[in-house]
Amino acid sequence: VNLSNQIAAGEVIERPASVVKELLENAIDAKSTRIRIDFIDAGLKQIIVQDNGTGIPSDQIDLAFTRHATSKISNEHDLFNVGTLGFRGEALASIAAVSHVEILTNSGGASGTRAEFAAGVKKAQEEAAATKGTQITVKDLFYNTPARLKYLRSPRTEIMKIVDIVNRIALGYPDIALTLMNEGRVLLRTAGNGNLQQTVSSVYGRSIAEKMLPFKSSDNDFEVTGLISKPGLTRSTRNFISILLNGRYINNFQLATAVMDGYGTNLAAKHYPIAVIKIKVDPLLVDVNVHPTKKEVRLSKETELSRLITNAISSALLAKDV
Ligand code: ADP
Ligand code: MG
């Protein structure tokens, strides 16, 4: 067993939802237009992520499962100019270190490749029939790390965490047709037609999507677009504010506060908005190398961006006179 892979796995792969997030982001980076996720037993028994993206050539499978090997950046400049969701080359190696992984992939040839890994070691690789794209099956997650298993919450909570992350990523990619299934039962299905309002409808339901207002604003550095709920439509937590920076779902207190300021959030009454905020920015203004899960980012000109968000939202609400 490769110890450093297990240590890295502890940082990147905390729970089944982390596996789903990493595999889903890889599928997106591979330019997939259709992605299907299916899990069993809150993801502990099995997680399958199937995409129609670029696939992986058979001679690059070992590399894909090697830690710090990434096909996405090649030099130091790229590290500060990250245009993909992944770039650390840690996810597949980390997942394989704590589970049984099977990959079936085809990068466009007549046939594809099937390979198997257990506890980070390759057990088999062979030519196999496959359509273009990649299917990764993760079985028996944390079977060799009992301490990690113990730390997990109830199956219900773990499923909620999977749904939450897939929902937020779905909101960031309205042009990808995403399906999430729990033991064959559909939890989320998006059309993938590029329409954000329809994606919100798939995620939160039609009655909510109908009460969302679009907003848009930009300056020299940022372009901000999104949807915000009309004042009557509130939630009791800030969890329904999703911020996507260049497609990456991020946690950012200051930007969430900017959304709430624009909305005129009533903190005392616990009336928070539902919102989807999509920010486009030159990757050079963003440092995603703060934390292994990349959920925290360091952003230049955060104050300017905050003001832009607050103004965009408050003027959208004013204009509609809602
Ligand atoms: P990272 O995403 O940071 O590069 P990962 O460990 O997640 O690292 O993936 C390693 C490499 O495997 C990627 O750089 C990519 O080349 C390849 N890869 C992983 N998943 C897919 C996929 N679904 N489709 C195509 N290539 C993939
Ligand atoms: Mg990745």
* Cα–Cα distance, 181 to 188 (Å, whole number): 7
CA angle 188, 166, 69 (to 5 degrees): 140
Which residues contact ligand 1 via a Cβ below 6 A? 22, 26-27, 30, 51, 53-56, 64, 70-72, 86-93, 134
ipTM above 0.90, yes or no: yes
Give the per-residue pLDDT at 187: 98
Check: CB of residue 241 under 8 Å from CB of residue 256: yes
Q: Which domains does the chain have, with CATH numbers?
A: 3-189 (3.30.565.10), 211-319 (3.30.230.10)
Amino acid 82: pLDDT: 66
Global pTM value: 0.91
Count Cβ neighbours within 10 Å for each residue of 154-167 and write b for 16 or more, e otherwise. eeeebbebbbebbb
pLDDT of residue 289: 67
Q: How far is the CA of 61 from the centre of ligand 1 (A)?
A: 9
Q: Ligand 2 centroid to 271 CA: how many Å? A: 36
Between CA 106 and CA 112 the distance in angstroms is 4
Nearest-atom index, ligand 1, CA of 84: 2
Centroid of ligand 1 to alpha carbon of 70 (angstroms): 7
Nearest ligand atom owner, CA of 135: 1
pLDDT value for 171? 95
Q: How far does residue 34's CA lie from ligand 2's centre (Å)? A: 17
**Residue with CA at minimum distance from ligand 1 atom 23:** 27
CA-wise closest residue to 247 among 203, 210, 196, 181: 196
pLDDT along the chain (322 residues), means of 10: 67 91 95 98 98 97 86 67 73 94 97 95 96 98 92 96 96 96 97 96 96 96 96 90 91 94 89 95 81 74 96 91 58
The reported pLDDT for the residue numbered 30 is 96
pLDDT given for residue 79 in this prediction:
59
Within 30-110, residue ranges assigned H as helices are 61-64, 76-79, 91-97
